[in-house]
Amino acid sequence: MTTLKTQVAIVGAGPAGLLLGALLHRAGIANIIIERQSPEYVLSRIRAGILEQVSVDLLHEAGVGSGVSDGGIVHHSIDLVFKNTRHPIEVTHLTGGKVVTAYGQTELTRDLMEQRSALGLTSIYQVIEVDLHGIDGTQPSVSYKTTDHSERQTIECDFVAGCDGFHGVARQHIPKNILQEFERVYPFGWLGVLADVPPVSPHAIVYANSERGFALCSMRSLTRSRYYVQCPMSDQVSDWSDDRFWDELKRRLDPELAEKMVTGPSIEKSIAPLRSYVAEPMRHGRLFLAGDACHIVPPTGAKGLNLAATDVKYLSQAFIDYYRTQKTLGIDEYSAKCLKRIWKAERFSWWLTSLMHRFPDTAGFGQKIQEAELEYLVKSESLSRSLAENYVGLPLDFDQ
């Protein structure tokens, strides 16, 4: 059996695990990342790409900010469409100059992967049968096999960071009598299409509420767009031809946007379920959870990747403080500190999802209530500011 030694073993090579590894390396803290998928599979996952300024700043801190600086698209507005009319929410004006930046998660992940490879840091892909040991003590370890090697291997470490997503193994190692799980599953999904067409609104994200259901117009670049329509979870991707998708999307937008839209063949098409989920606590002994391993938000509001980045910011700082001072305050407070921010983001995502989507009881009275709240939202500066503040990301000191 092969044994490796490091300070922090990171399970999961998605954005959270890679970003944590980059920040720890810059602070002189050794780490090894293991991942059950191949690098190609990790990069093939199409996910959100709207970054708060906190996340952008963290990428620069990790030494991979040039990609988002060169290729990111700054957004100053959210456009809300309802009753066939578009209403801009001037985010930058309402928040004193803050913005969000469109930068695809695939590109962000690639930036982190390439940096880690160039630095010669250890990442082990396609691992199976992962197990955690001794997380209640002072000498935890992670054991696994690889798909091309039958011998079991072990990483001995000081701490384990579970960044392995909702279906990962790390959370399963928190005892059931300690772990609390909170969940809401929504009765619809998002049909998402990626296409090499210019975005219909290059400097704003468009959220649409209509009697036909929700729609979202986003982007990955000035030549690649990401569009969504709400659909029943019983639908199959094969039910939706490209022509049907574009026709339905246009029907949910205002006439001006629908007329401007450039359509084209899809290069990726999928249906994603929507759920709100939080697991508490995010720490058990020497195991720390981050990102989707402990929380899921509906994509409405684009909080998932940004919450993961904030988890990583708090966790990296806790480890750095521990290794510099041997004090445990940061790691002791990690879970409670993160959860304050997570529940605020969960509330915002739930509220925006509830406001913009068609639910089974939305027809008639429910639709009128949504439209009344939307009218109040776009005419009330205080409520518009609240939306804008949450959308660009609450300041870190807001959680204290």
Active site residue 25: no
Backbone angles phi, psi at 80, to 5 degrees: -105, 130
Active site residue 260: no
Bridging pattern class, strands 215-219 and 204-209: antiparallel
User: Which of 186, 228, 314, 391 is labelled catalytic?
Assistant: 391
Active site residue 207: yes
> Confidence band (pLDDT; 50, 70, 90) for 398?
low
Active site residue 391: yes
The one-character DSSP state at 299 is: S
Mean pLDDT, rounded, for 248-259? 96
Residue ranges matching CATH 3.30.9.10 in the chain: 74-103+186-274+359-394
pLDDT in tens, 314-336: 999 999 999 999 999 999 999 99
Q: Give CA separation, 295 vs 8, 248, 277, 343, in Å.
A: 22, 31, 5, 9
User: Which of 75, 250, 295, 357 is labelled catalytic?
Assistant: 75
pTM of the model: 0.94
> Confidence band (pLDDT; 50, 70, 90) for 361?
confident
pLDDT at 150: 76
User: Which of 173, 284, 303, 337 is labelled catalytic?
Assistant: 303
CB 243 within 8 A of CB 266: no
pLDDT at 46: 65
User: Which of 140, 199, 298, 299 is labelled catalytic?
Assistant: 299
Rounded CA gap, 124 and 219, in Å? Answer: 32
Task: Provide the phi-psi class of 120: left if phi over 0, else alpha when psi is between -120 and 50, else beta.
Answer: left
Residue ranges matching CATH 3.50.50.60 in the chain: 2-54+62-69+104-182+275-348
Residues in contact with 113: Cβ distance below 8 Å, sequence separation at least 6, in sequence order: 13, 18, 39, 42, 43, 123
Mean pLDDT for the chain overall:
94
Instruction: Kindly write down the DSSP assignment for every residue of 339-387, as one continuous string.
Output: HHHHHHHHHHHHHHHHHHSPPTTIIIIIHHHHHHHHHHHHH-HHHHHHH
Distance of CA 28 to the CA centre of its chain: 27
Rounded CA gap, 62 and 84, in Å? Answer: 43
Task: Report the b/e string of 105-137 with b at 16+ CB within 10 A.
Answer: bbbbbbbbbebbeeeebebebbbeebebebbee
pLDDT in tens, 93-140: 999 999 899 898 889 999 999 999 999 999 999 999 999 999 999 999
The CATH code belonging to domain 74-103+186-274+359-394 is 3.30.9.10
CB 352 within 8 A of CB 296: no
pLDDT in tens, 31-62: 999 999 999 999 887 666 899 999 999 999 99
User: Which of 207, 228, 314, 322 is labelled catalytic?
Assistant: 207
Mean pLDDT, rounded, for 4-23? 97
The fold of 2-54+62-69+104-182+275-348 is FAD/NAD(P)-binding domain (3.50.50)
Tell me the angle at which helices 53-61 and 15-26 cross, rounded to the nearest 10 degrees.
50
Rounded CA gap, 280 and 336, in Å? Answer: 9
> Confidence band (pLDDT; 50, 70, 90) for 202?
confident
Burial status of residue 146 (CB atoms within 10 A of its CB: 0-12, 13-18, 19 or more): middle
